[in-house]
Copies of this chain bind each other. A is one copy, B any other.
Amino acid sequence: MTRKLVSAGVALALGAGFAAAAFAQAKPDVLVKQRQSAMVLIGKYFGPMGGMLKGVVPFDAKVVERNAGYLQVLAQMPWDGFTEATKGEKSRTLPAAFSDPAKFKQAQDQFQSAVGALVAASKTGDEAKIKGAIGDVGKTCGGCHDNFREK
């Protein structure tokens, strides 16, 4: 297949959203959408684990292990969307995310670190340990939201 044909195939495959990300610095509204999308998926995969901790979802070690692995990847994704250029966009992000980047970065690191510990715990099969690690992740979610997201 020639390069030209490959390029044509990809051009066809690319919708407006793809194109914005591919061919220019993503626009502020796209950055906000992307970072919010990462948060939505973090919620999708953390949610059932929070439910297990509360006892309203049956504990399932396999689901925790899978979701923890997903979270480890998703936990990399929101942060490059919080650029200065997005300060004027509609979102629940508080000004502190931009005015205190060191503290914001620390909160991100704490979340990633807690997720890493959950991934490790999820491989032990030890329910008490796993639930402790789920709780620790939840606290880092809440800690960051308290400081950097509107109520």
B23 touches A34 (CB 8 A): no
Chain B residues with CB below 8 A from A142, complex form = 9-10, 12-14
Q: Is A117 an interface residue (CB 8 A)?
A: no
Interface size on A, residues (CB 8 A): 56
Q: Is A70 an interface residue (CB 8 A)?
A: yes
Chain B residues with CB below 8 A from A70, complex form = 73, 76-77
Chain B residues with CB below 8 A from A9, complex form = 135, 138-139, 142
Known interface pairs A10-B135, A138-B14, A142-B13; A41-B37 also in contact (CB < 8 Å): yes
Looking at A33, A37, A49, A135, which has the most chain B CB atoms within 10 Å of its CB?
A37
Provide the main secondary structure of the chain A interface.
Answer: helix
Q: Is A50 an interface residue (CB 8 A)?
A: yes
Looking at A21, A44, A145, which has the most chain B CB atoms within 10 Å of its CB?
A44
Q: Is A38 an interface residue (CB 8 A)?
A: yes
15 of the cross-chain contacts (CB-CB < 8 Å) are: A1-B135, A6-B132, A7-B53, A7-B55, A7-B135, A10-B134, A12-B142, A13-B139, A14-B50, A14-B138, A14-B142, A20-B47, A21-B46, A22-B56, A23-B56
